[in-house]
Amino acid sequence: MVGRKSEAPSAVPPPHWRKALRFSALRTEGAGRRRGFTLIELVVTVAIIGVLAAVAMPLAQMTAQRARESELRVALRTLRNGIDAYKAAGEAGRIAVDAEGSGYPPSLEVLVKGVADIKSPEPKLIYFLRRLPRDPFNADPDLPPEQTWGLRSYKSPPDDPQPGEDVFDVYSLSDRVGLNGIPYRQW
């Protein structure tokens, strides 16, 4: 007959038989074998995860240190800009400074609390910083931010910074060394 398909038996069993065949094959072929992972497979997997963790940990620590170093750079730049702005305001005659003094702020708190603007007709304060940043490498969270920094006065030598009657510069009190090989105290 032309146009009519011959109905040959299919090699694929019907859907309801497939599931039954699969389970029967499992029972007959692996009757003595349990399903699951072997001890070797588990040991190899744990070893691979251990190697990956050993590689990732130093990388994560270096990334965290790099982030803290970035915070330190920003904090030092902020404080030094505030100190320089105070000095410039004193030289411009906007704030009262001691004639025999260096013109630098007496403390870091002055930069946040503000100083009277002597050129303004009405009384107002000039603020040099919104807030004092903390040294990100100082581990004591109970210290106020101004005590986390080392202070150098104008009369202090650069190789041995000492606090004094003014604040000429700030530095980190950390004994650690940066990723660039320079101690944080010298940044």
List, for residues 113-148, the tens digit of each pLDDT value.
999 999 888 989 999 999 999 999 998 989 999 999
Phi and psi, residue 136, nearest 5°: -65, -15
8 A C-beta contact, residue 152 and residue 136 = no
Q: 46-90, pLDDT tens digit by residue?
A: 999 999 988 888 888 899 999 999 999 999 999 999 999 999 999
pLDDT computed for residue 99 by the predictor = 81
pLDDT computed for residue 73 by the predictor = 96
Rounded to two decimals, the pTM is 0.70
Question: Residue 35: pLDDT band by 50, 70, 90 thresholds?
Answer: confident
pLDDT computed for residue 165 by the predictor = 92
